[in-house]
Amino acid sequence: MRLILFGPPGVGKGTQAKILSGELGIVHIASGDILRSAIANGTELGKKAKTFMDRGELVPDDVVIGIIQDRLKEPDAKKGFILDGFPRTLPQAEALDKVFERAGIAVNKVVSLEVDRRVLLQRLTSRRVCRKCGSIFNLSVDEVEDSRCPKCGGELYQRDDDREETIRRRFDVYLNQTKPVKDFYARKKLLVEVDGIGEIMEVTKRLNEALKR
Ligand code: AMP
């Protein structure tokens, strides 16, 4: 199974991709996670990416395409993968097509999670991430004590780009640069839309049904 999970910031791509990756036994590849880990490790790539990410802008296509191309070559991606946060522009989608063409493979499905903007803003401002295990929590839903991860005890933090001003910029970027990618896959008849509102497990169930379609 080669899957692309698509949707605006805060729609639940990361949360759902982690669950599906476990259920389907395929690797979860999140461009945002790779970039954040480069920042945490202080690499050149991280330094370059940080300026864009802090402003809520996209990291340049050539940088992100290179990262994903390399990641897809790793042995664990051979069995299949879930791409989360990539492609985010038309040039990225076209570059991915070429990578697949050269490898003689194709995407099975592009699932677009749908949630309205008001809910997204609320979810993003109350989102916290565990520095240790990467689990994602929502302060208005999950019981979290002393900013500690209920799963592993790691420190929970708020992503720098989850502040309201930056979130608004990320929404604009999504509408202008990322949404056209949805039409790109709709034209290829690969797109399925799934309602992303509701309990996490409910959404996972809808996703699993959509994958069978
Ligand atoms: P995410 O974790 O997917 O919300 O991504 C966080 C930030 O990383 C985005 O706001 C961008 O600055 C950057 N980023 C992640 N994926 C991409 C991508 N495919 N293209 C460009 N920038 C990206």
Answering whether pTM is above 0.75, one says yes
| Residue 101 φ then ψ, to 5° | -60, -45
pLDDT of residue 213: 82
Rounded Cα–Cα distance for residues 212 and 124 (Å):
30
Amino acid at residue number 186: A
Q: Identify which of 185, 161, 149 has the alpha carbon closest to the alpha carbon of residue 53.
A: 161
**Segment 169-183, tens digit of pLDDT:** 999 999 999 999 999
Q: What number is the average pLDDT over the span 81-110?
A: 96
Is the per-residue pLDDT at 36 higher than 90?
Answer: yes
Quick check: CB of 95 below 6 Å from ligand 1? no
pLDDT of residue 146: 86
pLDDT band of residue 184 (cuts 50, 70, 90) is very high
Cα(111) to ligand 1 centroid in Å equals: 18
Q: How many CB atoms lie within 10 A of CB 37?
A: 14
Tell me the two tokens of residue 209.
């049904």
Cα(172) to ligand 1 centroid in Å equals: 13
**Segment 39-83, tens digit of pLDDT:** 999 999 999 999 999 999 999 999 999 999 999 999 999 999 999
**Segment 135-159, tens digit of pLDDT:** 999 998 999 988 999 999 999 999 9
**Segment 115-137, tens digit of pLDDT:** 999 999 999 999 999 999 999 99
Quick check: CB of 166 below 6 Å from ligand 1? no
Sorted by sequence, the CB contacts under 8 Å of residue 64 that are 6+ apart come out as 31, 35, 58, 86, 88, 92
Quick check: CB of 59 below 6 Å from ligand 1? yes
pLDDT of residue 10: 94
Cα(90) to ligand 1 centroid in Å equals: 14
Quick check: CB of 38 below 6 Å from ligand 1? no
User: Could you give the count of Cα atoms lying within 13 Å of 31 in the half-sphere of its Cβ?
Assistant: 26
Nearest-atom number in ligand 1 for the CA of 85 is: 3
User: Which of 51, 59, 68 to probe ligand 1 with, by most ligand atoms within 8 A of CB?
Assistant: 59
